Amino acid sequence: MSQELCDLGLPSLTDDEHGTECLYWFRRCLRFHDNPALLDATQISHSVRCIYIIDPSTIGAGARVESNKWRFLLECLHDLDMTLRKHKSRLYVVQGQPAYILPLLFKDWHINVLSMEEDPTPYGARRDEAIGCLAQDHGVEVLHRSSHTLHSILAWKSVLGGKVLTTLHQFSKIFHIPGPPEHLNEEVIFQHLAKAVSKTDNSDRYNIPTLEQLGLESTKGVAVWKGGETEALKRLSYHLERRAWVACFDEPRMPADSLMASPNVIGPYLNFGCLSSRLVYWKMDELYRKMNGLESEPPVSLHGQLVLREFWYLMANLHRNFDQVEGNRLCLQVPWRQADKKIMKRVVMAKTGFPWIDAIMKQLVEEGWIHSMAKHALISFITHGQLFCSWEEAAQLLEKYCLEGDTCTNAGVAMLLSGSSHAKPIPSDTESPILTGKHIDPSANYIRLYLPVLRSFPSQYIYEPWTAPLDVQQKAQCVIGREYPSPMLEHYQALHSNMLTLQQMLKSISDSRGVKVRTHQRYPPEISSSRTHGRLKTVQ
């Protein structure tokens, strides 16, 4: 056993046989179906050890994600381990910096080959380049395969041939060029895995840690989302059983119960790689053909949602500083309010005084998921709609709590919906912190579930509880300003001021950037004629 592994408390493994020893590193692809990097590893090696590395720098103070996301990840790892043990192997979980841990494993386990799936984020690309150099220094061959996206980032760059791409419309014109995405059956991988298993070390030092062992607080209440490939495939099966709904999927058409977590939601599983986007693509393609081509138009259709996901990953790799305002050529340099921890703390603690927004935030923090319409409302509130905080704040909030988004997708969505994207400056409609919720859920059951303090409020007042007479508040046992906070701002005035600021900025750069300037009228009183699905529409 090497002294370094002893110092880490990790046992050494040795093989009597001689041959290709492969290390498969699970990262963004926490599954066995459609996993070409794992297939490569099993095909070329007589022994494959599957590892997952937990980087301590991603845990604790200043960490970008909260306990819900860690709980989901650990459940994904348990599911992988359970499957591997059925094939006389196991998952080895190691804690430490990859650049330090991997050389130790190369040496102690006599590794010849390192296989891993492509990480399509810019950070992942930089890290993998460094790991590649490190492996080369240790005489270890590196195998890289794409599986988290429909096509590899390299394939998309090859299609572009050096051309600049900035809009979804441009991307939709080239989307067909690489051809249909690859798809691998998990049974093929298992057949090879059975022939190339590692000797199993049953030491608990490689076991999957608990949240408490990682120094994290246990999540409160019952976990709504169960992580892992097994659950992901069950959800996909349920998802596809609803043929008519899938084929006619259209986000704006949603009943109130769509706001709640349901068995047909697959976003978190795509994000963690428990479910292959390529498998979903092919299953959707098969379903659409069976439904005689009946499908909503992208990007509203479910197929279109995969296209949009692909677009954000590509944009993040084509444009520097994609996840921030400064140095990002895709977004307008809006004079956002300077980051204020007190303001964002009120948002996170669900104390904005707007029940619709607070209910959304409560669900996000407690469960790790919100419906896309709720996400739009939250981003709109934080950015141009009300608080006028940077979309970076909204993106970081989603990355910290939301199971179904990462740096690339969260930044893309937040930038677009903030009204600061060059592709769509100043939205033509703005999610209202009052009207949107009223439109989707007139009975306010969603608010009553997540804000029990308002449970006894009459529906006519619950979206604007500060407008209720004092005797109504007292009867509901919730006096505004005491049991529930007053609104942190006057929302119509804030929206009007924000939109004017955006428009003035656009006017000042319209000649140099060619941006069409939208005009905006103050509302109310125009609001009564400007309602669109609970949104405030800016009158042209």
pLDDT in tens, 155-177: 999 999 999 898 888 998 999 99
Could you give the CA distance from residue 464 to residue 461 in angstroms, rounded to a whole number? 5
**How far is 261 from 249, CA to CA, in rounded Å?**
17
More confident of the two residues 511 and 146: 146
Span 128-155, average pLDDT: 94
Asked, for residue 322, whether it belongs to a domain, the answer is no
Q: How far apart are CA 48 and CA 115, in angstroms?
A: 10
Kindly report the number of other CB atoms within 10 A of residue 204's CB atom.
8
**Can you give the pTM of this predicted structure?**
0.89
288 — pLDDT class (breaks 50, 70, 90): confident
Structural domain includes residue 444: yes
Burial of 399-427, coded b for 16+ CB within 10 Å and e otherwise, reads bbbbbbbbbbbbbbbbbbbbbbbbeebbb
SS3 52: strand
Q: In the structure encoding, which two tokens stand for residue 449, read together?
A: 């579930």
Percent of the chain at pLDDT > 70 equals 80
pLDDT at 244 over 70: no
Q: Which backbone phi and psi does 480 adopt, to 5 degrees? A: -65, 135
How crowded is residue 194: how many other Cβ atoms within 10 Å of its Cβ? 13
Q: Is residue 532 part of a domain?
A: yes
Give the pair of three-digit tokens for residue 28.
Answer: 């963004």
Beta bridge partners of 53: 94
455 belongs to a structural domain: yes
Q: Is residue 259 within 8 Å of 374, Cβ to Cβ?
A: yes
Domain with 413, as residue range(s), is 341-537
CA–CA distance, 79 with 225 (Å, rounded to integer): 14
Question: Rounded to an integer, what distance in angstroms lies between the CA atom of residue 502 and that of residue 336?
Answer: 10
Instruction: Using the predicted structure, report yes or no on whether residue 298 has a pLDDT greater than 80.
Output: no
Average pLDDT over the chain, rounded to an integer: 83
Lowest mean pLDDT among 53-57, 105-109, 318-322, 357-361: 53-57
Per-residue pLDDT band for 514 (boundaries 50, 70, 90) equals: low
Helix axes 391-401, 67-86, angle to 10 degrees: 40
SS (H, E, C) 347-376: HHCCCCCCHHHHHHHHHHHHHCCCCHHHHH
Helices (H), 197-301: 229-241, 243-247, 267-271, 277-290
Residue 481 lies in a domain: yes
Task: Work out the number of other CB atoms within 10 angstroms of the CB of residue 45.
Answer: 23
For residue 486, CA distances in Å to 247, 353, 381 come to 43, 5, 16
Q: Are 183 and 34 in contact (CB under 8 A)?
A: yes
CATH code for the domain of 361: 1.10.579.10
List 145's β-bridge partners, or say none: 117
pLDDT at res. 195:
64
Instruction: Pick the range with the lowest mean pLDDT from 12-26, 434-448, 481-495.
Output: 12-26
263 or 326, higher pLDDT: 326
Domain assignment of residue 91, yes or no: no
Render the burial of 77-100: b for 16+ CB within 10 Å, e for the rest: bbbbbebbeeeebbbbbbbbebee
Give the N- to C-terminal CA distance of the chain in Å, as an integer.
72
pLDDT band at 523 (very low <50, low <70, confident <90, very high): very low
Task: Specify if 409 maps to a domain.
Answer: yes
238 inside domain: no
pLDDT level of residue 74 (50, 70, 90 thresholds): very high
pLDDT value for 254: 64
* Helix ranges restricted to H, 435-488: 435-440, 445-450, 459-462, 470-475
Number of domains in the chain: 1
d(CA 121, CA 146): 12
pLDDT band at 91 (very low <50, low <70, confident <90, very high): very high
Q: Distance between CA atoms of 391 and 425, rounded to whole angstroms?
A: 13
| Three-state secondary-structure class, residue 429 | strand
Lowest mean pLDDT among 270-284, 285-299, 318-332, 357-371: 285-299
Confidence of residue 483 (pLDDT cuts 50, 70, 90): very high
The answer on pLDDT for 507 being more than 70 is yes
Rounded Cα–Cα distance for residues 182 and 469 (Å): 62
**pLDDT of 434-446, one tens digit each?**
999 999 999 999 9
Over range 400-404, report the average pLDDT. 93
* Locus of tokens 């319209």: 510
Query: Starting from the edge strand earliest in sequence, which strands make up the sheet with 429-431, in order?
Result: 429-431, 535-537, 531-532
In the numeric block, which tokens belong to residue 338?
């300077």
* Confidence grade of residue 375 (pLDDT, cut at 50, 70, 90): very high
Question: 259: helix, coil or strand?
Answer: helix
